[in-house]
Amino acid sequence: MVAVPKIRLIWLGLTAALMALTLWMIFIWVPTEVNQGNIQRSLYFHVPVAWTAMVAIVLVAFASVAYLKTRSEKWDRLAVAAAETGVIFAGLMLITGMVWAKPVWGVWWTGEAKLTTTLILFFIYVAYLMFRAYFPPGEQRRRLAAVIGLMGAIDTPIIYYGAQLWERAHPSAVVGPLSDSDSSVDGPIGITLIVAVVAFSVLFAYVASERYRLRKQEDEVMELRRAVSLRPALAISSSLETTESTASAPAGGAY
């Protein structure tokens, strides 16, 4: 068992404290929004996870370009960590959006541009992760994944622009009892939103970095297996070693 570095414990503690503060603010401190009632509180989750999902895509794009430039595995790890965390946050964004839309707009799903964009991106990054699951590990997988991740990121602004045009062309979806009530975002509501965005960003960074660390350990295990699979060969060139050691060594090849 490897001891967790102190800095990570501090980071974890900070994340937990910030999340606790955020939850307290959302459910106890911030007054109930007058027009929408308690359901408006879901917005304090919806906005931060939407924000972090977007950050994740930028991170995937950045890491993918860096990988194609340098071919250094650390960028690939960063891209996967960002994509996996991003898919989860995008999923949360969709769920919180639907939970909010049902009572407020009267429908689970609308053609709202940000929701549509996130849904499409969710599919793109699910495909990205599925590709990684299908493909045997190695340089080729890292490279092709970087291409896929980059294509998805390039698509993001186009999708968003298209979704906005679509929303304008099909404005009818919003029919709920509270559909025309605006919620203001000043005072305690605004402060709570800002704190929530910060807290979720820290949470995202923590989860992604944990995933990055795990990935690195997976790679190290693979590197060890590779070293083991080389043993019979070394045995041959270092002369008279018998076949017993060579026969038992490469069992790890099955993955």
Partner 1 sequence: MGAALATVWTLARKDLLLELRSRDIVLAIVVFALLVITIFTFAIELTPSRSRDVGPGVLWAAVAFAGVLGINRSFAMEAEGDTLDGLMLTPVSRELIFFGKSLANFIFITVAEIVIFPVFEALFNINVLRIETIVIALLASIGFSAVGTAFAAVSVRVRSREIMLPLLFLPTVIPLIMAAVESTSVVVNGGSWSGFSAWLQLAIAFDVIFVIASAVLFQFVLEE
Partner 2 sequence: MTLSTQERTGPGDQAATGVVAIEATRLEKSFGNAAVLRGLDMKVRDGEVVAIFGANGAGKTTLLRILATLTRPDHGTVSIYGNDLAREAERARLSLGAVLHSPMLYGDMTVEENLKFFGRMFRVPGLSARVLEIADRMGLTPRLDQRVRELSHGYRKRAALARALLHRPRVLLLDEAETGLDEPARQVLDSVIAEHRAAGHAVVMTTHSVERGIAASDRVLVLAGGRFALDEPSSSVTLTDVTRFYIEPEPGDA
If one asks whether residue 252 binds partner 2 (CB under 8 A), the answer comes out as yes
- The DSSP secondary-structure symbol of 212 reads H
Q: Is 240 helix (H, G, I), strand (E, B) or coil?
A: coil
Residues 41, 26: contact at Cβ < 8 Å? yes
Question: What are the φ and ψ backbone dihedral angles of 122, each rounded to 5 degrees?
Answer: -55, -45
Residue number with CB closer to partner 2 (139 or 184):
139
- The single-letter code of the amino acid at 103 is P
User: Which residues touch 228 (CB under 8 Å, ≥6 apart)?
Assistant: 249, 250, 252
Q: From residue 107 to residue 146, what is the string marking binding to partner 1 with x (rule CB under 8 A)?
A: -------------xx-xx-xx--xx--xx----x--xx-x
Closest CA to 105 of 173, 9, 18: 173
Counting contacts by CB under 8 A, is residue 250 touching partner 2? yes
- Min dist CB 70 to partner 1, Å, is 13
Q: Residue 172 or 237: which CB sits closer to partner 2?
A: 237
Binding-site member from 130, 144, 175, 247 for partner 2 (CB under 8 A): 247
Comparing CB distances to partner 2, the nearer of 69 and 168 is 69
Is position 54 an interface residue for partner 1 (rule: CB under 8 A)? Answer: no
Q: Whole-angstrom Cα distance, residue 14 to residue 22?
A: 12
From the CB of 162, what's the least distance to partner 2, in Å?
A: 36
Record the tokens describing residue 152, joined without a space: 């998805």
**Site for partner 1, rule CB under 8 A:** 68, 120-121, 123-124, 126-127, 130-131, 134-135, 140, 143-144, 146-148, 150-152, 154-155, 158-159, 161-163, 165-166, 169
